């Protein structure tokens, strides 16, 4: 009798945990397919009033010290470029469109990297999570 009761309690617990497991799985898949933009200031000087427009929204990063990075999520409407605006400490104004991502990339999530180089030059790269190299080693 005790064994039957114990099995029944285990079965009920598993049935009760199934919705929790389903929600956790959906949340993990949703998080893994979100797009992320990381901006790194490699200019050798401070960056001020940094904004990046993509997907119909403007991401405001503000100021980034030399060598600093900041990240944000973004969306892709159809075909998008990153429109970058900022000012370097020496007064150099940066207003440039760079990079190219499409809605097909959005299906798996995009990890985009934007480097602000000396004299305000920009370098952009992106990959889906399946093609991002493992840097943990």
Question: How large a percentage of the chain has pLDDT more than 90?
Answer: 45
Residues 6+ positions from 63 with CB-CB distance below 8 Å? 46, 47, 48, 49, 50
17-31 pLDDT, tens per residue?
556 555 544 444 444
Give phi and psi for 34, each to the nearest 5. Answer: -80, 145
| Structure token pair of residue 126 | 């992106």
Please give the model's pTM, rounded to 2 decimal places: 0.68
């Amino acid at each position: 009798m005790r064994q039957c009761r114990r099995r029944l309690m285990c079965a009920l617990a598993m049935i009760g945990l199934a919705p929790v497991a389903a929600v956790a799985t959906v949340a993990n898949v949703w998080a893994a397919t979100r797009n992320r933009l990381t901006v790194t200031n490699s200019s050798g000087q401070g960056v001020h009033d940094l904004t990046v427009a993509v997907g119909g929204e403007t991401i405001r990063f503000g100021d980034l010290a030399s060598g600093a990075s900041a990240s944000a999520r973004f969306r892709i409407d159809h075909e998008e470029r990153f429109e970058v605006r900022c000012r370097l400490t020496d007064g150099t104004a940066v207003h440039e469109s760079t990079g190219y991502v499409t809605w097909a990339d959005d299906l798996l999530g995009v990890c985009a990297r934007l480097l602000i180089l000396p004299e305000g030059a920009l370098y952009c790269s992106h990959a889906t999570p399946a093609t991002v190299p493992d840097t943990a080693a």
